[in-house]
Structure 1
């Protein structure tokens, strides 16, 4: 009779084991379309001289695939956000769609031709002022748009850092629970799925290196080794603005802005660097343009016989003391102030100076004296009249001198952005393709295959039914024995 009770115990143990295993399979099937869910595999073991038990419910996970996903996701999001900034810059100078200022630059110089033909024609002089205003408007609009892109991108970085801090704190909480529930496989596996989801989200924001510890907790570091998270201690990531209005990202007080290349934040920082380059190039173009036109215009005489008149000036509302793309204005307010003549005795008919201004379109050589050029190239700054002209890169003056304003605009302002954008688009497409391939590998390895789960469920149901049948038969035998005893 004791053997019957023993059989009943074995069958009962098996029944509970297969019931728990079926629950796990059912959970897999329920989450077949759940993003980020990793299937759980039942591992059985024999009890000595007894039944079977569910030794382990293992979560299917490949560390190498996961790390490859994190690295590629870093690159992908970095390229995507960098590409977005480059696209916005390119749109500013899209002359085909009318957003650049190449045609306005041509119209400006061409408008002087009618004044050269008839120097005292006020209508022609008004046209010069109109075309100058149109060119200034496009230049200042380009500058304002670049500044706006920079400001919006900086705010996006600030928002991303706030999101990053939240995710790191959530991951710190998950780490604690992973350790706390290390002996509860069901809860543990749920937290491990959450761990992976959070790490993926973090990798889309910032360059990150992942270290998975033996207890399944994770530590996160930047590409250069600054710790972002160690167990349940998340480092505070802070956002600041430097004296040039550039965003500064700090970890525990350390400036890591220059080492961030990937992730959303890294992509945005690279984008701001490109915006700064575009602003500097536009400012240098405007400075050299205003300098040479003003210098030539100051040498002529207007219809009233006045000289030393600046054609362009600095916006009175600007707090800056040097002329640039953000503050350039038309200085003359009366068409008679256009200095067309070189001879003060013939201001109504002499067109010598206006022809010199027209020639600036293709050649600025000789406008500045050798001493003025030396001062400009050595100090990157020169003052003529009441206006100071400062360059970010003195080489830009030589480039315009060797080529022309149009060639500089095309080769140094428009083309570099378009070339970089084309390159980054290719990198983005490649990283997207690689990430999709890795993601597909992860899903094939860790995802739920409904056919396989149905087969497993069928096997477990048969084993469960067999255990239940043993219990039924054993119970009948016990009843028979008991009846015999009576």
Structure 2
């Protein structure tokens, strides 16, 4: 080995030390950058064969710059990140629903329900007082507005979640495209046995971000390119990326308003995409399950109030002695459209606070022959040509029996009664031409007078009646307040469960990231030690070159 070989060894030593200092400086500069993986300079002894001495050292050779990272831990982080994304959206939705219902005691639905029934209780004291009646109507209108507002806020949550689905799909497509471009970049760099360290770091960060949006699986080929699939469909491959597409379907709500519901499809197959994890799953579940569930419960309360109040009110009497008046509009039973009936809004004297002074039961039977056409029946006593009219019917029933066979006909299967026209029509041809017995049973009452409060008492007592949550036998098991309280309690439990799941998943991610940081993270102490090492090797290589130069000078001056 000659002096020129020594110069070569020194030069390669300088280059390796300089490169080592560059790598160390890069590590130090990015010590606080999230997702950065520390780099390591891999070097190996260089050698050549000498005819006299065999293999001899020829300095140092740089193999590559390696990225230090555990890909298995990255996979575990992405798996937990999928769950974090899902529970974040569920927790956020339940938090918003809680904000709708969990209000100060004097402004919540339960408070307005109490005020509504309190006004009926007050009406029992002053049944013919216009001011008391006006207060009853006003509290009913306030309760109606509360239902409308609550339903509207739930609708807004659902529409917001629906819009966020479109935003998340756009982000998925953006990330997929960028991951595909990084695939191309990595394959281009690593074709020459080099490492695309920074591009891989960038791609890992994007994969982590994507895993929070949707459930993904990844595989890497020999060229370093990843294939990303979700629900068995490829969205990123070494050759292209597939976009998710939004389709919109406009539907009508019960209150007549429209809703543009979005769904997601794979662009290449047009198949519907139903995510199994990530934020998109949480958004779909929020929109299609969670919010509608609470909307249905709110509708159930509104419908029960309409039906139960009307059921009692219609049998009572207004100040003019008329019955059959609905307090709420019977055609509007949802929380979004519940309303006080026009009769009550126009005149508070139509509020039926009075009940019956006397109740009577009746029972009439008519025998006639039926054919295919409807038959109109009049109940006339024998020899009396006048029609008999029954007024103030509180309840009643019709029973039709085949006189020959004794078979009781089934309503709306064998026959139909039109109470408005007073007609009975035979539906089952089996009974054509038969003599049928038509038995009427009815219960009537009479007006007790404007000072009576029995109907107002009955409506006020609805507050304590079991009117909701029927058991297996059809018996109601809860009052309105009990049902609402249970409803709010379950909402709190669901929120706590979602929050607990979210905290658990975040804890697991922190554990995995701590482990990954111990491997891939930059330790400034270690980097300072590396810096000192490369500084000394650089100085030593420079001294070697300087010594070789002086020896060459001696030779040249001989």
TM-score, reference length from structure 2: 0.75
Shift of 1:395: 6.0
Which residue number in structure 2 is paired with residue 353 of structure 1?
455
Q: Which moved more, 1:9-18 or 1:444-453?
A: 9-18
| CA deviation profile, 1:32-63 (whole Å, cap 9, x unmatched) | 11121100111111112311111121101101
CA gap 1:451/1:54 in 2 versus in 1, 3 angstroms: same
Of 322, 326, 330 in structure 1, the residue corresponding to residue 340 of structure 2 is: 330
Shift of 1:107: 1.6
CA gap 1:301/1:33 in 2 versus in 1, 3 angstroms: same
- Is 1:189 the counterpart of 2:197 in the alignment? yes
| CA deviation profile, 1:122-178 (whole Å, cap 9, x unmatched) | 111111112111211111111000000111111112111111111111111011101
- Is 1:466 the counterpart of 2:540 in the alignment? yes
Which residue number in structure 2 is paired with residue 86 of structure 1?
94
Which residue number in structure 1 is paired with residue 393 of structure 2?
none
CA gap 1:120/1:400 in 2 versus in 1, 3 angstroms: farther
Contact 2:325 2:352 (C-alpha < 8 Å) held by counterparts: yes
Q: In structure 2, what is the Cα distance between the partners aligned to 1:138 and 1:32?
A: 55
Of 213, 223, 226 in structure 2, the residue corresponding to residue 215 of structure 1 is: 223
Shift of 1:295: 2.0
Query: Which SS does the other structure have where 2:329 is aligned?
Result: strand
Which residue number in structure 2 is paired with residue 205 of structure 1?
213
Name structure 2 gaps, 5 residues minimum: 48-55, 252-258, 357-445
- Is 1:276 the counterpart of 2:284 in the alignment? no
Contact 1:136 1:329 (C-alpha < 8 Å) held by counterparts: yes
- Is 1:230 the counterpart of 2:250 in the alignment? no
Query: Which SS does the other structure have where 1:254 is aligned?
Result: coil
Shift of 1:239: 2.6
Whichever of the two has the greater Rg, that structure is 2
Contact 2:213 2:279 (C-alpha < 8 Å) held by counterparts: yes
Contact 1:400 1:408 (C-alpha < 8 Å) held by counterparts: no
| CA deviation profile, 1:282-305 (whole Å, cap 9, x unmatched) | 112211221121122111121123
Which structure has greater strand proportion? Answer: 2
Shift of 1:394: 9.3
Q: In structure 1, what is the Cα distance between the partners aligned to 2:103 and 2:473?
A: 25
**Structural mapping, 1:57-456, within 5 Å:** 57-96=65-104, 98-183=106-191, 188-222=196-230, 224-242=231-249, 245=259, 246-252=261-267, 253-257=270-274, 259-260=275-276, 262-272=277-287, 273-313=289-329, 323-331=333-341, 332-333=344-345, 334-343=347-356, 345-363=447-465, 401-411=476-486, 413-456=487-530
| CA deviation profile, 1:392-421 (whole Å, cap 9, x unmatched) | x9969988832211111122x212211110
Q: In structure 2, what is the Cα distance between the partners aligned to 1:298 and 1:130?
A: 19
Count of residue pairs the alignment pairs up: 446
Shift of 1:99: 4.8
Shift of 1:97: 5.0
Query: Which SS does the other structure have where 2:24 is aligned?
Result: helix
| CA deviation profile, 1:343-400 (whole Å, cap 9, x unmatched) | 35433122222222223223267xxxxxxxxxxxxxxxxxxxxxxxxxxx99699888
Which structure has greater helix proportion? Answer: 1
Q: Which moved more, 1:189-198 or 1:99-108?
A: 99-108
CA gap 1:231/1:399 in 2 versus in 1, 3 angstroms: farther
Name structure 1 gaps, 5 residues minimum: 315-320, 366-392
Contact 1:115 1:340 (C-alpha < 8 Å) held by counterparts: yes
Contact 2:44 2:62 (C-alpha < 8 Å) held by counterparts: yes
Query: Which SS does the other structure have where 1:307 is aligned?
Result: coil
Contact 2:112 2:142 (C-alpha < 8 Å) held by counterparts: yes
Q: In structure 2, what is the Cα distance between the partners aligned to 1:291 and 1:442?
A: 62
Contact 1:173 1:232 (C-alpha < 8 Å) held by counterparts: no
Q: In structure 2, what is the Cα distance between the partners aligned to 1:399 and 1:414?
A: 24
Contact 1:25 1:457 (C-alpha < 8 Å) held by counterparts: yes
Query: Which SS does the other structure have where 1:323 is aligned?
Result: coil
Q: In structure 1, what is the Cα distance between the partners aligned to 2:303 and 2:211?
A: 42
**Structural mapping, 1:473-484, within 5 Å:** 473-484=547-558
Shift of 1:452: 0.6
CA gap 1:55/1:99 in 2 versus in 1, 3 angstroms: farther
CA gap 1:323/1:362 in 2 versus in 1, 3 angstroms: same
TM-score, reference length from structure 1: 0.86
